[in-house]
Amino acid sequence: RSFARSVLGFLGFIFWGTAVAQMFGGVSVILMFKNYRYLFQEPYLSLPGWLALVTALALLPTGVLAASISVKCSRNQQGTFMYLLLLLLCLEMSSAALARSYCVRTAAQLESAISYLVHQHNWTCSQDPGNSAVDVIQRKLHCCGVHNYTDWLKASSLCHPTCVPESCCKEKHSLCTGDLGHVEQLSEEGCLKKLKDQLCFSMLYIFWSCTVLSILELLAAVSNGILMRRQPFRELHIL
């Protein structure tokens, strides 16, 4: 019993720490889909992020109960703790499954979505770069085109284009105008790879954090069960 109490006390502090980690993952997913909403039309894709935020909020009272039970066993607290663990397990399994599924699904749709934006772009060599969706992506991710800057040459309506949009320019080259005569001033990487990396990192972060947290919660449930086993069944009527 003393070992079970020690485990619960330790897990109580761990739950507070993982609440911050879950909140970070949830906010990053929500902001990512908000910033690139022109690529992801389905509003439900940010659902794993919202579930992660709900999980983070539920972890706070769970951590308090774990720490409290480790000091003084209370039948009501132990029963409530079990209910919270069950709720958290449901939330985390749902969040992990959705994150894993959406990572594969959205990554497969990205290439066609970015290619469409490039071809629909109001292609110009103007000194003033446009504020279209693809310009915003290229500035934020420091990328150019789908795979590289040559995608702009294929998408251009000009017979012999001499430049690409200024949003392809590297930040350190303030005088860059997208001139193809100075390719070294343009971002080398395409936007597809960077977007896929950012998407899968955010989704897999939630997937693995939920998986690890579920294991810790099962350990907490076992520890709490050991403490509850010593009490007469009639005293655990709250369950």
pTM: 0.78
Do both 111 and 96 map to the same domain?
yes
Q: How far apart are the first and last CA of the chain?
A: 21
Contact status, residue 190 vs residue 145, Cβ threshold 8 Å: yes
- The pLDDT tens digits of the residues spanning 115-129 come to 887 877 765 544 444
Range of the domain at 169: 125-191
Residues of the chain with pLDDT under 50: 125-130, 233, 235-236, 238-239
Is 32 part of any domain? yes
The verdict on 7 and 91 lying in the same domain is yes
pLDDT of residue 130: 44
Residues 28 and 111 in one domain: yes
Q: What is the mean pLDDT of the chain?
A: 81
Query: Is the same domain home to 92 and 210?
Result: yes
User: Measured between alpha carbons, how far is 163 from 185 in angstroms, rounded to an integer?
Assistant: 12
16 with 108, same domain?
Answer: yes
Q: How many domains does the chain have?
A: 2
Q: What are the tens digits of pLDDT across the range 158-196?
A: 555 667 888 888 877 777 777 777 888 888 888 888 888
CATH number of the domain that residue 182 is part of? 1.10.1450
